[in-house]
Amino acid sequence: MSFSDNEVAELPLDRPLTIAHPEEKTTSTRWSERALDGVTFFLADVADGLGPFLVIDLTSRRGWSSSDAGIALAMMLVGTVLSQAFVGAWIDRTRYKRLAISVAAATVAMTSIALYYAPDRLSVYSLQFITGAVVTVLPPGIAAISLGLVGRDRLAKRAGRNEACFHAGNVVSAGVAIAAVQYGGASGVFYGVAAMAIASAISAQLIRERDIDHQLARGADGPADEMNIMSIRELLSNRHLLWFVASVVLFHFANAAMLPLVGQKVGRLHPTEAPKLMAICIIVAQIVMVPVALLASRGAMHGRRWVFLIGFAVLPIRGILYTLTDSSTLLIANQILDGIGAGIFGVVALLVMADLTRGTGRFNFAQGITATAIGLGAAASNSITGIIVDRAGYNAGFWFLSLVAVIALVTFAMTVPEVNTEKASVPIQ
Residue boundaries of the structural domains of the chain: 30-218, 229-429
CATH of 30-218, one of 1.10.10.60, 1.10.472.50, 1.10.3720.10, 1.20.1250.20: 1.20.1250.20
What's this model's pTM, rounded to 2 decimal places? Answer: 0.77
**What's the confidence (pLDDT) of residue 207?**
94
Between CA 121 and CA 105 the distance in angstroms is: 23
Nearest partner of 353 among 258, 288, 428, judged by Cα: 428
Nearest partner of 217 among 288, 286, 146, 282, judged by Cα: 146
38-66 confidence digits (pLDDT tens): 999 988 766 666 666 676 677 777 777 76
Give the number of C-alpha atoms closer than 13 A to the C-alpha of residue 337, restricted to the C-beta side: 20
Residues 6+ apart with CB under 8 A from 235: 12, 241, 357, 360, 362, 365, 366
- Homologous superfamily (CATH) for 229-429: MFS general substrate transporter like domains (1.20.1250.20)
Between CA 320 and CA 325 the distance in angstroms is: 10
Residues 6+ apart with CB under 8 A from 319: 254, 258, 398, 399, 401, 402, 405
Q: What are phi and psi of 46, to 5 degrees?
A: -100, -40
Between CA 162 and CA 175 the distance in angstroms is: 20
Mean pLDDT for all residues in the chain: 81
Between CA 56 and CA 274 the distance in angstroms is: 14
Between CA 166 and CA 169 the distance in angstroms is: 5
**What's the confidence (pLDDT) of residue 403?**
95
- DSSP secondary structure letters along 124-169: HHHHHHHHHHHGGGHHHHHHHHHHHHH-STTHHHHHHHHHHHHHHH
- Asked if 51 and 178 touch (Cβ cutoff 8 Å), the reply is no
Distances in Å between the alpha carbon of 57 and those of 114, 173, 360? Answer: 13, 18, 45
Between CA 77 and CA 75 the distance in angstroms is: 5
Q: What are phi and psi of 412, to 5 degrees?
A: -65, -45
Low-confidence ranges of the chain (pLDDT < 70): 1-28, 45-53, 55-56, 66-67, 177-178, 180-182, 184-186, 221-228, 264, 267-276, 278-279, 420-429
Of all residues in the chain, the percent with pLDDT exceeding 70 is 81
> CA angle 222-225-226, nearest 5°?
120
Please report, in angstroms and rounded to a whole number, the separation of the first and last CA atoms in the chain: 23
Is there a shared CATH topology between the 30-218 domain and the 229-429 domain? yes
Between CA 406 and CA 408 the distance in angstroms is: 5
Give the number of C-alpha atoms closer than 13 A to the C-alpha of residue 26, restricted to the C-beta side: 3
Q: What is the DSSP letter of 381?
A: H
**What's the confidence (pLDDT) of residue 26?**
47
Nearest partner of 293 among 250, 350, 251, judged by Cα: 350
